């Protein structure tokens, strides 16, 4: 049934949840027609238990508290306290939410804002404000956006938030997080809703990519899934522990892609980024020394290779790699800044 697909239930969870609904539905004939009160409540409690088990199994596979989780939990609570009629109330609630989408699910804003505040306090994936501003202007192409968010015009802030919500980049997420601390409750709600929208879209893309992997199992399918996991981990939408979880999933997907077909150096670079963020630098160094022989002129591979040698303190190797990199013309401002920093470190070493 489409409703279970949208709620992200797998076949087993779907059967358990559907069995619970059947038990809840049996409450009516037992109570009103058979007048078996004890039997009616046995069906009621069994139905609640089955629904709870299905939701627990679903959430164990999706550690991130997605928008549907609180809806399902509240549904169980409603059904528990309103036997019989609660079933009808939940059916109407789910039908309305599935029909009209995320727009009516803003009731979880308070919990979502609390999680944002916690992440901001921990400083997950924090960047300097100046660097963030430059990257936001490059990525979004909307230069006054930071100034607007610092201002007092609520309508302009709303437009800026809509612009930021078009891309789930770390820089956009950081600015949206800042907007959740705005003086205006309306702006805070806009920002939280925008982040919820971005996260929901990413989760849906991951679900579809996972389905594609199970159907095709190709190198490209695994690489696409790895890209989404890595994007989610680095977006700033999740706290550190969950970012580590998705980084691990991304590395596993990339490894499967590379094992099947080592033909895309960009996949290799993404895989190495995951390993570095997971703290596996010793493994990365040997791996890069091998793959760079396949693509000796690939900018991304050489940049990340120089970073690895810099981190382990092998400055002579860094100097050699950096010397080759500076001969390449297509280097961004940020890449040149990093290379200048490495050169300065090599000279003072």
**61 pLDDT tier (thresholds 50, 70, 90):** low
Lowest mean pLDDT among 24-38, 118-132, 147-161: 118-132
Query: What's the average model confidence in pLDDT over 152-180?
Result: 81
3-state secondary structure of 284: helix
3-state secondary structure of 183: coil
Taking residue 123's Cβ as centre, other Cβ atoms within 10 Å add up to 9
- Top pLDDT among 8 and 225 is at 225
- Give the dihedral sign, CA 140/146/147/152: positive
Lowest mean pLDDT among 121-125, 169-173, 235-239, 299-303: 121-125
Lowest mean pLDDT among 15-29, 78-92, 209-223: 78-92
- Report yes or no: 302 and 325 within 8 Å, Cβ to Cβ: yes
Greatest mean pLDDT range, 17-21, 75-79, 141-145: 17-21
| Runs of H (alpha helix) within the chain | 2-6, 11-25, 27-28, 37-61, 68-81, 85-100, 109-122, 129-140, 145-150, 154-164, 170-179, 185-216, 219-234, 240-260, 265-277, 281-291, 299-311, 315-325, 333-348
Q: Please tell me the predicted confidence (pLDDT) of residue 212.
A: 93
Q: Please tell me the predicted confidence (pLDDT) of residue 291.
A: 85
Predicted confidence (pLDDT) at residue 210 exceeds the cutoff of 90: yes
Lowest mean pLDDT among 126-130, 190-194, 327-331: 126-130
CB within 8 Å of 116: residues ≥ 6 apart: 177, 180, 192, 195
Domain coordinates of the chain in residue numbers? 2-104, 107-199, 217-348
Q: Please tell me the predicted confidence (pLDDT) of residue 211.
A: 93
Q: Please tell me the predicted confidence (pLDDT) of residue 25.
A: 81
Q: Please tell me the predicted confidence (pLDDT) of residue 8.
A: 61
Give the model confidence (pLDDT) of 264-310 as tens digits. Answer: 888 988 998 898 888 887 778 888 888 888 888 888 888 888 888 88
Lowest mean pLDDT among 32-36, 129-133, 195-199: 129-133
- Top pLDDT among 11 and 8 is at 11
Which of 119, 126, 180, 123 has the alpha carbon at shortest distance from 149? Answer: 180
Lowest mean pLDDT among 123-127, 200-204, 316-320, 321-325: 123-127
**99 pLDDT tier (thresholds 50, 70, 90):** low
Secondary-structure class of domain 217-348 per CATH: mainly alpha
**CA–CA dist 37, 231 (Å, integer):** 53
Q: Please tell me the predicted confidence (pLDDT) of residue 67.
A: 54
Q: What is the DSSP letter of 34?
A: S
Taking residue 81's Cβ as centre, other Cβ atoms within 10 Å add up to 9
**108 pLDDT tier (thresholds 50, 70, 90):** very low
For residue 343, the number of C-alpha atoms closer than 13 Å in the C-beta half-sphere is 11
298: left (phi over 0), alpha (psi -120 to 50) or beta: beta
- Report yes or no: 67 and 104 within 8 Å, Cβ to Cβ: no
**91 pLDDT tier (thresholds 50, 70, 90):** confident
Average pLDDT over the chain reads 75
- Give the dihedral sign, CA 262/266/272/277: negative
- Report yes or no: 166 and 155 within 8 Å, Cβ to Cβ: no
Measured in residues, the chain has a length of 349
Predicted confidence (pLDDT) at residue 235 exceeds the cutoff of 80: yes
- Give the dihedral sign, CA 321/326/332/334: positive
Give the model confidence (pLDDT) of 250-262 as tens digits. Answer: 999 999 999 888 7
Answering whether pTM is above 0.85, one says no
Q: Please tell me the predicted confidence (pLDDT) of residue 173.
A: 83
Q: Please tell me the predicted confidence (pLDDT) of residue 60.
A: 66
**CA–CA dist 148, 150 (Å, integer):** 5
């Amino acid at each position: 049934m489409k409703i279970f697909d949208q709620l992200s239930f797998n076949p087993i969870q779907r059967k358990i949840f559907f069995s619970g609904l059947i038990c809840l539905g049996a409450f009516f004939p037992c109570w009103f027609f058979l007048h078996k009160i004890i039997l009616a409540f046995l069906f009621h409690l069994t139905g609640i238990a089955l629904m709870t088990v299905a939701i627990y199994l679903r959430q164990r596979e999706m550690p991130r508290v997605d928008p549907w989780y609180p809806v399902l939990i509240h549904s169980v609570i409603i059904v528990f306290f309103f036997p019989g009629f609660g079933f009808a109330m939940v059916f109407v609630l789910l039908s309305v939410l599935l029909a009209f989408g995320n727009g009516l699910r803003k009731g979880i804003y308070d919990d979502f804002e609390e999680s944002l505040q916690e992440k901001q306090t921990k400083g997950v994936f924090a960047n300097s404000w100046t660097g963030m501003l430059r990257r936001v202007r490059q990525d979004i192409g909307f230069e006054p956006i930071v100034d607007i968010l610092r201002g007092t015009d609520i309508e302009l802030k709303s437009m800026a938030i809509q612009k930021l919500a078009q891309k789930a980049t770390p820089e956009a997420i950081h600015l949206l997080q800042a907007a959740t601390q705005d003086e205006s409750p309306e702006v805070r709600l806009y920002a939280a809703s925008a982040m919820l929208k971005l996260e929901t879209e990413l989760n849906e893309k991951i679900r579809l990519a996972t389905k594609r992997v199970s159907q095709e199992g190709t190198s490209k399918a695994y690489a696409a899934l790895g890209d989404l996991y890595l994007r989610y981990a680095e977006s700033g939408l999740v706290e550190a522990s969950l970012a580590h979880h998705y980084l691990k999933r991304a590395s596993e997907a990339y490894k499967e892609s590379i094992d099947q077909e080592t033909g895309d150096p960009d996949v290799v670079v993404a895989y190495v980024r995951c390993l570095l963020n997971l703290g596996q630098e010793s493994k990365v160094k040997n791996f890069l020394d091998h793959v760079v022989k396949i693509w000796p002129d690939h900018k991304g591979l050489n940049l990340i290779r120089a970073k690895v040698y810099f981190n382990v303190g092998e400055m002579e190797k860094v100097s050699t790699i950096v010397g080759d990199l500076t001969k390449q013309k297509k280097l961004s401002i940020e890449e040149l800044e990093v290379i200048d920093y490495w050169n300065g470190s090599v000279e003072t070493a």
